[in-house]
Amino acid sequence: MGPADPALAELLARFRAGGVGALARAISWAEDGHPSVAALLEALHGETGNAWRTGITGPPGAGKSTLVDGLARHWVADGRCLGLLAVDPSSPFTGGALLGDRVRMDRSTGEGVFVRSMASRGSLGGLSLATGAAADLMDAFGFDELLLETVGVGQAEIDVAAAADTTVVVLTPASGDGIQAMKAGLMEAADLFVVNKADTAGAERLANELEMTLELRPSGAPRPPVLRCVARDDQGVAELAAAIEARREDDRASGRLDRRRQARDLARVRRVFSESLRARLWDGDGLQDRAREALAAGERPDSVALKLAARVLQRLQERAS
Ligand SMILES: Nc1nc2c(ncn2[C@@H]2O[C@H](COP(=O)(O)OP(=O)(O)O)[C@@H](O)[C@H]2O)c(=O)[nH]1
Ligand SMILES: [Mg+2]
């Protein structure tokens, strides 16, 4: 544990020397909740903040991986180095990440591209915490661009995408009954919309519908542009890259980037705070057994929770006085 951990010192040295294996190992530490991961992130903290994080989210099959692939090739051709992180909801049957993304993403793997898939862990806040840590590690490693692909199906995945510097929401005419089918939170998270599969029927109608809905949105933040893409044929990908870059310049100049990163850090503090309290108190202090007993005695779940919380707080006060 701590700086005395020889594995940590060794990993840090290899990481700082640019060893890709060390980066992969470090991300595994974050995924597995390794005891030294906090010290590792602490040591690398001063080296983060330089990579631009673009979140790509949307329903399964919308073409997110194809777009990521296209963006990756576009930016690599521009001489940038990239980290791609695909966040897949864990399957309750295999517990593993969906293989499809890795395979499709391999097409863009070349010089300067690092590809990693993450499976979501069962624990509360686990997905966004592990993904945030993985993004920090890739940032510290020195990539120019980070692309985070998440399936916009659950709140946790939307949280991950929304923690990016720029969030792209990908929709297709096939993703249901258009805008009404959009998951709550997805609409708000978007800085840019892509209507992908513009080669299929209904795409233009969806794009128009989206533009009309966005016009009704209260002003404040800039209105998200709606781009039409055929990701499979690389159509609209250069325009998407340009739109991401334009938005980035605007966010930097307006101070919106700083505010967004502050909000992201605060959300992360809140998550780690509640997660560590839960781990210490719930898992480590016999609260679970007490809760079971109270429930077996016929008490209501909410009352049990509030009573346990009050008890913990009272005990802390007694200790302090
Ligand atoms: N017709 C059409 N198909 C596309 C387009 N972009 C991607 N696809 C296909 O849609 C399927 C799902 O793409 P994928 O990138 O894996 O979607 P993801 O689940 O959102 O990551 C694949 O078979 C792609 O070849 C497009 O612009 N038009
Ligand atoms: Mg995908």
Q: What's the alpha-carbon Rg for the chain, to the nearest Å?
A: 22
Give the pLDDT mean for 16-30. Answer: 91
Is pTM beyond 0.95 here?
Answer: no
Mean pLDDT for the chain overall: 84
CB atoms under 10 Å from CB of 131, counted, come to 26
From 56, 57, 65, 66, mutation site for ligand 1 pocket: most ligand atoms within 8 A of C-beta? 66
The SS3 of residue 25 is: helix
Residue-wise burial string across 230-252, b where 16 or more C-beta atoms lie within 10 A, e elsewhere: bbeeeebbeebbebbeebbeebe
H or E, element range at 162: helix 155-162
124 confidence band (pLDDT: 50, 70, 90): very low
Ligand 2 ion: residues within 5 Å (CB): 64-65, 101
Distance separating alpha carbons of residues 243 and 5, to the nearest angstrom: 45
End-to-end C-alpha distance for the chain, whole angstroms: 32
Q: Is any atom of ligand 1 closer than 6 Å to the C-beta of 68? A: no
Distance separating alpha carbons of residues 91 and 97, to the nearest angstrom: 7
35 confidence band (pLDDT: 50, 70, 90): confident
Closest CA to 118 of 110, 129, 108, 107: 129
Distance separating alpha carbons of residues 125 and 194, to the nearest angstrom: 28
Q: Is the pLDDT of residue 115 over 70?
A: yes
pLDDT, tens digit, 9 for 90 and up, residues 178-221: 666 666 677 778 899 999 999 999 999 999 999 988 888 776 77
121 confidence band (pLDDT: 50, 70, 90): low
Contacts 24+ apart (CB under 8 A), 266-272: 267/159, 267/163, 268/129, 268/132, 268/163, 271/125, 271/128, 271/129, 272/129
Q: Is any atom of ligand 1 closer than 6 Å to the C-beta of 230? A: yes
pLDDT, tens digit, 9 for 90 and up, residues 265-300: 898 888 888 878 887 888 777 888 999 999 999 999
What does the block give as tokens for 57? Answer: 């989210």
Give the pLDDT mean for 118-122. Answer: 60
